[in-house]
Amino acid sequence: MVSGWFVTGTDTGVGKTRAAQALLAASAHAGQRAVGMKPVASGCRATPDGLRSEDAEALIRASNVTATYADVNPYAFAPTISPHLAAREAGVTIQLDVIRKCFMRLADQADYVVVEGAGGWFVPLNDEHAMADVARVLGLSIVLVVGMRLGCLNHALLTQAAIKKSGLAFVGWIANRVDPAMERFDENLATLEKCLHAPLLTVFPHAPTVSPPLVIEKLMKLIINPYTKT
């Protein structure tokens, strides 16, 4: 059985890449081989080697396993739009089986694979599938990143309900202070702790470039003593 996590978020731009990097760092600190994956990415830049995603490149840098870019990010699109629209414009159909095969090649080299979704849980990939179907096909436990700002309670609880309905293990969540001026931060955090029915793994302070050692230490507990399905 492949070990790892699927990192989803309450929205786009809430810190999924940061969370995935921290999970990779924690895995490495625990003495494990860990590799990141960004199956689908929009907003990629053109390079001599083809389209490249900043998120995917960040995961490659955080991994301690060497992997090909094509396996880390099999679907890369230039427009900064929903993946299903970007794929349609490119004349491409995003296929879950292609993603699964890339994932298995990564898993053959690592103890843990950290897969970062695009956007939120139900972002569409094609006419039939959403990002949630990637998590389902890969069979990974879910880590939810909550962008702490006005409206996050509704977004977080809707996502939690959808994860629960999927039957996948919701092993924990990370609070990311995307809005440093958010009013009643502590009260909102306490509400989420009460309602999400999964462990709060850590709280990211606003916009540091590197996860502090305490974050790594907390996330290592997820690797050494994995939480069970809730």
Which sequence positions are flagged as catalytic?
A: 38
The three state secondary structure string of the chain is CCEEEEEEECCCCCCHHHHHHHHHHHHHHCCCCEEEECCEECCCEEECCEEECHHHHHHHHHCCCCCCHHHHCCEECCCCCCHHHHHHHHCCCCCHHHHHHHHHHHHCCCCEEEEECCCCCCCECCCCCEHHHHHHHHCCEEEEEEECCCCHHHHHHHHHHHHHHHCCCEEEEEEECCCCCCCCHHHHHHHHHHHCCCCEEEEECCCCCCCCHHHHHHHHHHHHCCCCCC
